[in-house]
Amino acid sequence: MKTYPRVNLEQWRVFQTIIDKGGYAQAAQYLNRSQSAVSYAMSRLQEQLGLSLLEISGRKAILTEQGKFLLERSRKLIDEAIEIENFARYLSQGREAQIKLVVDAAFPNELLMSALAQFANQSRGTRVQLYEVILSGASDALLNDDAELVIGVEIPSKFLADPLIDIEFIAVARNDHPLFELNRKITSADLAQHTHVVIQDSGQHEKIDVGWLSTQDRWTVSSIDSALSAIEHGLGYGWLPGNRLVEALRDGYLKPLSLEQGATYKGFLGMSFGHPGNIGPATRELATIIKNTVNNIGSEK
């Protein structure tokens, strides 16, 4: 005789939220429920399973050994349920109504806009939501299942990526910066005497410190454009993508710093599907257009 699950997906979701948010009260706030409702759902879950999944230590909910095993299994269950729902939605629509595209801000804007313009001509109503991120923000989008297509520097190990482009970062300062008066190779000790303009990692989990120095004298900004503007106004020095420096270097507003080491470094950008087991036709088309644009326009430069 066929059996059916006694526990529903919502109970597993409550269990996961208690752990992810750090307790019953936090889970209740996140789920927009009363704390008593969350407590009842958790008690009912443990009763139906015949297992203790959580222990209370102070105000914090701690996983039991059984709870640790079932938490990971339940996450897979929820993920699979979401994938089934998404797949059903794609089947019913035939084509995605919307694509969320997450792109590291270092990706050349000219290439991105050229690709999006091509896609718009054949999108057949599919809209694109574009989000720019810095460094590990792209990884967050993949790990949080929060995008259809992601272009980033760091790709989590469980995702595959197509190589796209190498981005060269160049150490620069305004043409009248005191560092240029040294008239020799600039050392890390020299840099430590001046303000470093840093672009903040937009990720929330494993943040990446690429091209940053440990100096306390630094200005932190949230975008490449803000960093460029700050350096052009003489607020400090910093490493910026070469594709954003063409005009400033050509016109002499900024100059490359002649460093003893590390005057440039390269960041590799790859492209990944956010839902590799359920890729819609429009998402595949956009990915192909982006790759072709990089290969065609990028090769002309």
76-132 pLDDT, tens digit each: 999 888 878 866 766 576 678 899 999 999 999 999 999 999 999 988 778 899 999
Distance in angstroms (rounded) separating the CA atoms of residues 226 and 230: 6
CA distances from 148 to 98, 129, 243, 263 (A): 9, 10, 26, 35
**Interval 182-208: pLDDT, tens:** 999 999 999 999 999 999 888 776 665
- Which amino acid is it at 122? Q
Inter-residue contact 240 to 167 (CB < 8 Å): no
pLDDT band at 299 (very low <50, low <70, confident <90, very high): low
Which pLDDT score, from 0 to 100, does residue 217 have? 84
CB atoms within 10 A of CB 1: 2
pLDDT at 213 over 70: no
- In SS3 terms, 167-199 reads as EEEEEEEECCCHHHHHCCCECHHHHCCCCEEEE
Q: What structural domains does the chain harbor?
A: 9-91 (1.10.10.10), 98-160+269-300 (3.40.190.10), 166-267 (3.40.190.290)
CA 230 to chain centre: 24
